Structure 1
Amino acid sequence: MSWPSDELELRNMTLGSVILSAFEIKSNNQLVGLPDWVSSEHFDIQAKMDAETSAAFHSLDREKRHLQSHLLFRRILEDRFGLKFHIEKRDLPVYNLVVAKRGPTLKEAARGCPRRTGRLIRRPGKAHAPSKPDW
């Protein structure tokens, strides 16, 4: 999620999806203590930066703007949903990807094969930051 303009609109998103994005969390296993409705109830969220915040935000370089956008999402979660959180380190189960006894069976893509980047969608919903209002 990003803020290409001074407006943000999230449609039909679960709070869990917004939390995953706001904290750049890769897996639901990293979230502890959330009620079940966080993954089942869907919300529409709209937010708009004031002119001063927008000017300061858009003057940042790309990396700083990315970091700041996550802080803005966290602030929305705190203000609108009363989210309280803390970050802690935990040992989680992992899997090792190893070569099979008979060797690798992966094949290199053919030359000239069009490169298409896939998109992973975690949950139903739509997130976009319109440059112009829909009305």
Structure 2
Amino acid sequence: MTDECVFCMIANGEIPATAVYEDETVFAFDDIAPQAPVHVLIVPRAHHSDISDDVPDDVLLALMRAVPKVAAAKGVAASGYRVIANTGEDAGQTVHHLHVHVIGGRPLGEGMVRPMEGE
């Protein structure tokens, strides 16, 4: 844990958040700026800056095992959902604590990237 990481503080109960799912390794909660009707963040309780941060296999496995549980809890398991892990500034990572987004609740289309300005 780092002293100034908001996701560390949320995962460890220092900042209140309503749990969508939790276990000993991960904590999942609703995004405060949702991009769809369902937008949940799943974060490891231990601090890792992003997916390239030599993350232990058990942490990566816990993150991925939490995804279908979150989707089921939010009612999007049958209709479909998207899983995203932003890594670095150019990818849009704004909090440098490894996390995955589970997004759904409406048709999301095929595109993953917004067109560049002027296109």
- The structure where strand makes up a greater share of residues is 2
Structure with greater Cα Rg: 1
Relative contact order (C-alpha < 8 Å, sep 6+): which is higher?
1
| Structure showing the higher helix proportion among its residues | 1
TM (normalized to structure 2)?
0.27
Q: Normalized against structure 1, the TM-score is what?
A: 0.25
